[in-house]
Amino acid sequence: MKTDVLARTSAPLAADDGQGGSQTVRAQLRLRELIVDGSLRPGERIAELAMVERLGMSRTPIRMALVRLQEEGLLEALPSGGFVVRDFSEADIHDAIELRGTLEGLAARLAAERGVPPAVLADARDCIECIDAALAKPKLTEATFAAYVEQNARFHRLLAEMSGSPLVQRQIERAMTLPFASPNGFVMMDITGPGARDRLVIAHEQHRTVVEAIVHGEGARAEALMQEHARHAQRNLAHALQNHETLQRLPGASLIRRRGAR
């Protein structure tokens, strides 16, 4: 379930530009999955021809997929050719989440100040109702967890749209491709642990409150709420790093360089 959920809920990929684009997207998803599940380890060199053979795909989509994964930050280009899988310090992850929170705070403030089209606002409220339904039962199941993950990603996409700024929307999408900065990055690590449902309920209450602030034109409050929402993800990160068992459930855990490591 782990890599399937990651593939479904990561930031939007580049638009499909026909058969070649579709092949590139498939190669990108497959290579990201190999990186996230630890099949390709940090520091491992990835040669284009080796991936052509491994994935059974032609050279052009593999080449494009490797470049896109470099743009996402998962790969680093080597001067001698090819790519290497990157790793990430705790500070890198903290900064990626902070950047997303800052941009989403800006989106929320602009939405409150400029107003939101009724159709987009209706979609946001529908999203909140869907999450309400998913969390209505006292016990978190795999089905309700999957529903939350889907609607959580939808909420964050709608928030970017509510900004009314294509520029801000594009920057948020770019920030979400940073490793571990996806809104579902640390949600997905914890489906069965103690307090898992409570953490989702708290995060969802922040969704509801920020929409209320936007509706009432409270720009500063909406911005502060989304920044606090990102801090909730920071706390989830700290929780994961303190618990080895929980950390192993985090997609991409093998990419995290712990303090004291090299």
Q: What is the CATH number of domain 2-86?
A: 1.10.10.10
Which residues make up the CATH 1.20.120.530 domain(s) of the chain? Answer: 89-257
What's the pLDDT at 21? Answer: 63
Averaged pLDDT, 230-254: 73
Which residues make up the CATH 1.10.10.10 domain(s) of the chain? Answer: 2-86
What's the fold here for domain 89-257? Four Helix Bundle (Hemerythrin (Met), subunit A) (1.20.120)
Give the Å distances, CA to CA, from 64 to 13, 34, 43, 187, 260: 12, 16, 20, 30, 35
- Taking the C-alpha atoms of residue 97 and residue 156, their distance in angstroms, rounded to an integer, is 13
Give per-residue pLDDT as tens, 140-160: 888 888 889 899 999 999 999
Per DSSP, helices labelled H in the chain are: 2-9, 19-36, 48-55, 59-72, 90-114, 118-134, 142-162, 166-176, 196-215, 219-242, 244-248
Give per-residue pLDDT as tens, 164-207: 999 999 999 988 877 678 888 766 555 555 677 888 899 999 99
> pTM higher than 0.85 for the full model?
no
